[in-house]
């Protein structure tokens, strides 16, 4: 077991990639706090995983983020691993995007990672100073940190920010031995993408820019999150792993034809 007796918090772990990471961490011997806004799914996830606890958390709220870290430590002792995974999207033509929607996405995707990351890091530094081993932080970025999509301004900006946040945190926390890395997935089969997979044209478009020719599974991202949190990555910090980036062909891979924002367009343009 690569994470035996480690304590982890995974944000946005009620669904999708976060849930897969939480599941892998528990399987590797960790105790996991599931921090999510979705209480129904979060409670169910914690019950199904066993060595896990749900914490009602809005990562974009400073008090809620601080409380999540404090509660994790109260429940399990210290904190060794923090995974900033919670994320949302909003599709809109650049010229029509509202300030409120821009703020809403940045608040969860970027500010949330800062707030949870800072609260976790403060606790980890205190632990290091008391002689305990340093922890690790994993931020979930996206291929869209480096590949732009015309109608996903706040999402792309937030993920570009995550890559820089990862580097800044890595430099700041390196003196304590705390490692900070990120994962930038391409298209992963979570609920949002399942709807796309039934649409042949949308699927063709995604696969045309996916080197391995298939949509990834959440477990394949979770496996990387295990590696980054484990001692196998002990000499790795400040890096973003892009599992599928090498073959990305365009900086505007799925520009929508219409200016109208819709759920369908949003799903087509997820990555």
Give 116 or 125: the residue with its C-beta nearer to ligand NAD: 116
- Inter-CA distances, 202 with 54, 126, 172, 205, 208, Å: 35, 48, 41, 5, 10
State the sign of the Cα–Cα–Cα–Cα dihedral 48, 215, 10, 27. positive
Catalytic residue status for 155: yes
127: contact with ligand NAD by CB under 6 A:
no
d(CA 110, CA 170): 16
From 6, 31, 111, 159, the catalytic residue? 159
State the sign of the Cα–Cα–Cα–Cα dihedral 226, 229, 231, 232. positive
x/- letters, 207..246, toward ligand NAD (CB under 6 A): ----------------------------------------
CB of 250 to ligand NAD, least distance (A): 17
The SS3 of residue 245 is helix
Catalytic residue status for 159: yes
What element of type H or E holds 92? none
From 155, 187, 242, 248, the catalytic residue? 155
Catalytic residue status for 242: no
Taking a C-beta distance cutoff of 8 angstroms, is the pair 86, 56 a contact?
no
57: contact with ligand NAD by CB under 6 A:
yes
Task: Name the token pair of 104.
Answer: 């809403």
From 142, 187, 248, 269, the catalytic residue? 142
What element of type H or E holds 111? none
Among 82, 147, 169, 188, binds ligand NAD (CB under 6 A): 188
Give 210 or 230: the residue with its C-beta nearer to ligand NAD: 210
135: contact with ligand NAD by CB under 6 A:
no
Residue ranges in contact with ligand NAD by CB under 6 A: 11-12, 14-18, 36-38, 57-60, 85-88, 108, 112, 140, 142, 185, 187-188, 190-193, 270-271
């Amino acid at each position: 077991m690569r994470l035996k007796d480690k304590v982890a918090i995974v944000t946005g772990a009620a669904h999708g990639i976060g849930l897969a990471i939480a599941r892998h961490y528990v399987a590797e011997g960790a105790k996991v706090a599931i921090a999510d806004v979705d209480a129904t799914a979060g409670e169910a996830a914690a019950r199904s995983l066993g060595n896990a606890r749900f914490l009602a958390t809005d990562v974009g709220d400073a008090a809620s983020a601080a409380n999540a870290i404090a509660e994790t430590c109260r429940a399990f002792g210290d904190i060794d691993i923090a995974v900033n995974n919670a994320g949302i999207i909003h599709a809109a033509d650049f010229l029509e995007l509202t300030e409120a929607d821009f703020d809403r996405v940045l608040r969860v995707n970027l500010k949330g990672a800062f707030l949870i990351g800072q609260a976790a890091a403060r606790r980890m530094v205190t632990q290091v100073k008391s002689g305990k081993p340093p922890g690790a932080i994993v931020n979930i970025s996206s291929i869209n940190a480096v590949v732009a999509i015309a109608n996903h301004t706040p999402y792309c900006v937030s993920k570009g920010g995550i890559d820089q946040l990862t580097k800044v945190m890595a430099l700041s926390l390196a003196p304590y031995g705390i490692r900070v890395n990120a994962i930038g997935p391409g298209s992963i089969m979570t609920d949002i993408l399942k709807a796309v997979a039934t649409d042949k044209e949308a699927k063709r478009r995604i696969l045309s820019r996916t080197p391995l020719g298939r949509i990834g599974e959440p477990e394949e991202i979770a496996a990387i999150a295990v590696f980054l949190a484990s001692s196998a990555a002990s000499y790795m910090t400040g890096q973003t792993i892009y599992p599928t980036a090498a073959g990305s062909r365009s900086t505007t891979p799925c520009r929508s034809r219409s200016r109208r924002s819709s759920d369908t367009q949003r799903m087509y343009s997820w990555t």
